[in-house]
Amino acid sequence: MPQFLFCLKNVLYLNFSEILFQERVTEMEWFQIIVMAIVQGISEFLPISSSGHLLILDELFRSFGSKPQFDEIMLNVFLHFGTLIAVLFVYRKRLFLLFTKDKRLILLLIIATIPAVVIGYPVKEYCDNILKSTLLAGCCFPITGLCLLWLSDRSGTTICRNLPIIRSLWIGLAQAAALLPGISRSGSTITASLLCGLKRDEAATFSFLLSIPVIGGGTLLETKDLIEIIQEKGSQFIFDSIPMLAAGVLISCLVGIIALNWLIHWLEQGKLKYFAYYLFTLGPIVIIWQLFTRFF
C-alpha cells in the first residue's frame, strides 16, 4: 500500500508539473507575440527598420533563455498581414483614386516594384543567413540614419502621378537595398522619393503604396512555407495557434495605423532627423553587444 501511494504521488506531481510548465509556455508565447506584434507595427512604418528590430528582439529573447515557442515563418506571415491591413486602411481613399484619376501611378508602382522582385528573390534564396545577422543590422542602422539626416528638411514640388518613370525605378532600387537588416524600407524609399523631387506628403504616399505589393508578395511567398508547416504539424497545430495569431494580426494592424499616421505627420514637419539620432545611438550599441557576445 505505501508503495502504491508513493507511485501515485509521483504521478500526480509529474502531471501537475507538466500542467504548470504548459501554462508558463503559453504565457511566454502570448508575451512574445504581443511584444513582436507591437514592434512590427511600429518599425514597419517608422524609418527604423522592422527587420533589424525583430532580429534584436529575437536575440534578446534567446539571450534571456526564452527561445521563441512558435514557428517564425508562421508568425511573420500573420504579423505582415496585420501591417498590410494597416496600409490599406490608411490609404483606402488614395487606393480608390488609383483606378480613377491616378491610373499612371499604377504603372509607376509596378516599375518601382521590379528591383525588389529581381534582386530580392535570389538574395533571400541564397543569402538568407546573412540577412539574419544582428551584427549586420547594427552596422546598417547608422546608414539609414545618415539618409534620414541628409534629406530631413528637403521637399520637392512633384506629385506622384507626374513622377518620371526612370525616377520611380530609382526609388525601387532604394527599396531593394532595404533587404539588408537595419536599412529601413520606408526610410530608404522616402529618402529616394524626396531626392527624386516628390513633395513630402507625396513621398510618404508613394513609399507606402509601394509597400503594398512588397508586403503582400512577401507574405504570399512565405505562405508556401506555411502550408508545408501545416502539412508537417497538422491542422490541429494551427487551430491551437489561432487565438494568439489573431491577436498578433490585430495588434500589429492597430499599432501600424498609429505609427503610419504619426510618421506622415512628422514627415510633413521635416522631423525625420529625430529617427536618425535614434539610429545613430542604437547602431553602436548593437555592434558592441554583438562583438562582446561573440568574443567574450
Give the pLDDT of the chain (296 residues) as one tens digit per residue: 455 434 434 433 334 333 333 444 467 778 888 999 999 999 999 999 999 999 999 888 887 766 655 667 678 888 989 999 999 999 999 998 888 888 899 999 999 999 998 998 788 778 878 888 999 999 999 999 999 998 877 888 999 999 999 999 999 999 999 999 999 999 999 999 999 999 999 999 999 999 999 888 877 777 777 777 777 776 666 677 788 889 999 999 999 999 999 999 998 888 888 999 999 999 999 999 999 988 87
pTM of the predicted protein model: 0.86
Q: Which amino acid is at 121?
A: Y
Give how many domains the chain has, as a whole number.
Answer: 1
DSSP codes, 109-127: HHHHHHHHHHHHHHHHHHS
Burial of 212 per CB tally in 10 Å (0-12, 13-18, 19+): middle
Grid cell locating 211: 509597400
Structural domain boundaries enclosing 53: 2-64+71-295
Q: Which amino acid is at 57?
A: L
Q: How far is CA 124 from CA 119, 210, 245, in A?
A: 9, 19, 24
Grid cell locating 264: 506622415
Q: How far is CA 74 from CA 112, 225, 238, 245, in A?
A: 28, 8, 9, 9
